[in-house]
Structure 1
Amino acid sequence: MAVFAVVMGVLPFTGVARASTDSSNTASTAPAVSTRQAVPSTAPAEAPVLTQHVLQLIKEHQLVELRTIYNGPFAAAMFFNPSTLNYTVVLLKNHDFWWVGQTADGHKAEMLYTKLATQTIRLSAPDIAKIQLDARIAVARSSLLAQKKREAELEQQISAQQKIMQAGTAAQSQLLSEAQALNSRRQELQRQLDQTNAAIAGLQSKAQEGPSLGDLQTLPSASAPVGTTLQQKPRIQVRATAHP
C-alpha cells in the first residue's frame, strides 16, 4: 500500500518525528491529548519508542492500512493490527513521522484519524501555496522570455523595414533628381528647336516674298552702267557704183 511504501522508505532514516505520547502510551487506550497540541512543527532528530514500535510492525507486515489521505507533502493514515486488534494512527510529512498514536477503540481511532486528516489540510496550506506560487512564477518567467523574444523579433522586422524604406527613399530621390535633370534637358532642347524652327520659318518667308522695290532701286541701270562710257562706233557708208 501507499503508506507502507512511504514508511518502508523511512526505515533507513533516523530523522523521524517524535510521537505525541511517551512509551507508556503503547497500551490499548488512546492518548488523551489534542491533536492540534500534539502535532510538532518540525520532526525531532530521534524517534520515540512508540514510533519505533510502529515502524517495526510495518516492517514485519503486521499492520493493515485502512485509511490514508494526502494533502501536499502531508499524509494521515490509520492502520489495524489483526493480531492485537489495536489501531495505529500516524501523521507524516514526506518520509518523516510527525505524530503516532495507538488505541483499541475503533471509534476513537476514526475520530483521531479525522482530526489528523484535517490537520494535513492546515499544515499543507503553505506548501501548496508555494507550489502554486512557484508554478505562477515559472509561467510568468516563461511568458516574459517569450515576450522579450517576440519584441526582439519585432525590432528586427522594424529595422529591416526601415532599411528597405530608406533604400527606397534614396532610390526615389535619385530617380526624382534624374527626372528633373531630364526635364531640364528636354526644355533646353525644346527651346533650341523652337529657335531653329523660327529661323527656318523666317528664311522661308523671305524666300517666298522675293526682292523688294527698295532693293531694285539700289541696283545699277542696265542702259547706263555705273562707271562705264559708251563709245559710238563710226558708221559705215556704203556707196553704190555702177560698173559697165
Structure 2
Amino acid sequence: MDYNRRVRQAALAVMVLFGGTQAGCAQPIPQSAGPTTQQETQGADATNAASVTVAAQPADAASAAAQTAAPSQATVLTPDEAQQNAAGNVAELQQMLRGSELNELRTTYNGSYGASLLFYGKEMTYYVTLFQNKMFWRVIKTSDETRAEAIYRDFAAKSQQLADVEIRRIRLEAQKAFTQRMIALTQDHANRLQADLTIARQQQALVMDQQKQTRDQANALQAQKTAAQGQLRDVQRQVRELQRQVEGGLPTQ
C-alpha cells in the first residue's frame, strides 16, 4: 500500500509541473490494486485542484489584464439587460412602435447613423437605440433613467464617430461633382471663346481680302482716272486746235 501511494503521489507531482503547458490533456494515473482510502482520495483531489489552478493562471491573468486595459463604457450590459437583449429587444421595440404608447425623448442623427432615447411610461421603461438607415442596430432596455441617459450619450457619440467617414465621403463626392461641373462650365466657356476667336479670325481674313480687293479696285480706278484725264486734255487740245482752224481768218472783236 505504501508503494502504491508513493507512485500515485509522484505521478500527481508530474501533473502539477506540466499542468500549465499541457492543460486539457488526459494524464494516465496509475491505479491502485486495492481500494483507495479516504486520505488518499482527499490528497489526490487537493493535488488535482492545484494542477487546475496552475493551468488556469495564464488565462485568468490575461483576462484580468484585458479588463484592466479596456476602458469602462456605459454600454456594458448588466446581467438583466444582457438577458433582455438575448430575448430580443429589437423585435420587442419594433412591435411597440406599431402602437402609440412610446415617447421619443431624444434623437441624434449623424449621416445615416443615429441614436434615440424612447420612454414607455406605462412601465417606466427606457429603450435606448443605435440605428443605421432607420434600422435598429442595438437596443438597450432599462428602467434606470440615469443609465438610460448615459447609454444614449454613448450611442450618440458612437453614431457621430461612425458617421465621420460617411460624412467625409459625402463631402468629397459633392466636391468632386462641383469640380466636374466647374470643369464642364469652364470648358464650355473656353469652347465659346474658341468659337468666337475662330469667327473673329475668319472675319478678319475676309475683311483683309475685301480690303485688298478694294485697294486694287481703287488703284485701278486711279489709273483709269489718270488715263481719262490725260485723254481729256488731249481732246481739249484737239478741240482748241480745231476751233482755231475753223475760226482762222475771221475778224476778232
Q: What residue ranges of structure 2 are gaps of 5+ in the alignment?
A: 1-74, 245-253
Instruction: Give yes or no for the alignment of 1:25 onto 2:109.
Output: no
1:132 corresponding residue in structure 2: 171
Higher helix proportion, which one?
Answer: 2
Evaluate the alpha carbon distance shift between residue 65 and residue 21 of structure 1 in structure 2; reply closer, same or farther with a 3 A threshold: same
Equivalent in 99, 111, 127 of residue 72 of structure 1: 111
Helix, strand or coil: the match of 1:69?
A: strand
Helix, strand or coil: the match of 2:122?
A: coil
Aligned residues: 175
Instruction: Give yes or no for the alignment of 1:163 onto 2:219.
Output: no
Q: In the TM superposition, what is the alpha-carbon distance from 1:84 to its structure 2 partner?
A: 2.3
Q: Distance in 2 between matches of 1:48 and 1:148?
A: 61
**Would the aligned equivalents of 1:25 and 1:50 in 2 still touch at CA under 8 Å?**
no
Equivalent in 110, 127, 141 of residue 149 of structure 2: 110
Helix, strand or coil: the match of 1:83?
A: coil
Helix, strand or coil: the match of 1:138?
A: helix
> Letter of the aligned partner of 2:108 in structure 1?
I
> Letter of the aligned partner of 1:143 in structure 2?
M
Q: Distance in 2 between matches of 1:56 and 1:20?
A: 25
Instruction: Give yes or no for the alignment of 1:173 onto 2:234.
Output: no
Q: In the TM superposition, what is the alpha-carbon distance from 1:139 to its structure 2 partner?
A: 2.0
Larger Rg: 1
Once the two structures are superposed, the pairs formed by residues 140-219 of structure 1 within 5 Å of their partners are 140-192=179-231
Helix, strand or coil: the match of 1:89?
A: strand
Q: Distance in 1 between matches of 2:90 and 2:239?
A: 130
Q: In the TM superposition, what is the alpha-carbon distance from 1:149 to its structure 2 partner?
A: 2.1
Which segment is superposed worse, 71-80 or 189-198? 189-198
Q: In the TM superposition, what is the alpha-carbon distance from 1:92 to its structure 2 partner?
A: 0.6
Misfit runs of 4+, over 4 Å: 19-24, 190-205
- Higher RCO by CA contacts (8 Å cutoff, separation 6 or greater): 1
Q: Distance in 1 between matches of 2:128 and 2:83?
A: 14
Instruction: Give yes or no for the alignment of 1:92 onto 2:148.
Output: no
Normalising by structure 1, what TM-score?
0.58
For residues 86-109 of structure 1, give each alpha carbon's deviation from its aligned partner in whole angstroms, at most 9, with x where no partner exists: 211110111321221122211111
> Letter of the aligned partner of 1:64 in structure 2?
N
1:219 corresponding residue in structure 2: none
